[in-house]
């Protein structure tokens, strides 16, 4: 049973457009929702993360929107650039202690010039 469902599997966006990746979770105890960015041949790197006490968090061109009642969160990339082309993973966990991150299956983003 997959606890974090991510969509779409792949996404193609034109330069300057908005990229939107969605995730849905099942465990209402989750209280930490990070997004990781992975370039080919590299390990994933933390991009941005949110706690459920806020509905939105913005860092530069990257924004997480969080809907607690719907148990959904999404990553928005504004003014998408070819350098944003990567695989993006959402994840969720219960913060602290022995809980592990539960990852989505990933979204491959391609931004065309």
Partner 1 sequence: EADIYQTPRYLVIGTGKKITLECSQTMGHDKMYWYQQDPGMELHLIHYSYGVNSTEKGDLSSESTVSRIRTEHFPLTLESARPSHTSQYLCASSPKNLNEQFFGPGTRLTVL
What residue ranges bind partner 1 (CB under 8 A)?
Answer: 32, 34, 36, 38, 40-46, 49, 87, 89, 93-101, 103-106, 108
Minimum distance of partner 1 from residue 22's CB (angstroms):
16
| C-beta of 6 vs 78, nearer to partner 1 | 6
Minimum gap (Å) between residue 65 Cβ and partner 1: 20
The C-alpha atoms of residue 84 and residue 44 are separated, in whole angstroms, by: 13
Cβ 33 to partner 1 shortest distance, Å? 10
Cα angle for residues 64, 57, 20 (degrees, 5° grid)? 20
The strand pairing partners of 61, in sequence order, are: none
* Residue corresponding to tokens 């080919």: 40
């Amino acid at each position: 049973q997959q606890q974090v469902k991510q969509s779409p599997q792949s996404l193609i966006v034109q330069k300057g457009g908005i990229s939107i990746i969605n995730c849905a979770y099942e465990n209402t105890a989750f209280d930490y929702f990070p997004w990781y960015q992975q370039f080919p041949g590299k390990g994933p790197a933390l991009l941005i993360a949110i706690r459920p006490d806020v509905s939105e968090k913005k860092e530069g061109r990257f924004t997480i929107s969080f809907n607690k009642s719907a148990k959904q969160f999404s990553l928005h990339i504004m003014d998408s650039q070819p350098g944003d082309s990567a695989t993006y993973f959402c994840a969720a966990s219960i913060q602290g202690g022995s809980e592990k991150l539960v990852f989505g299956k990933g979204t491959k983003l391609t931004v065309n010039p």
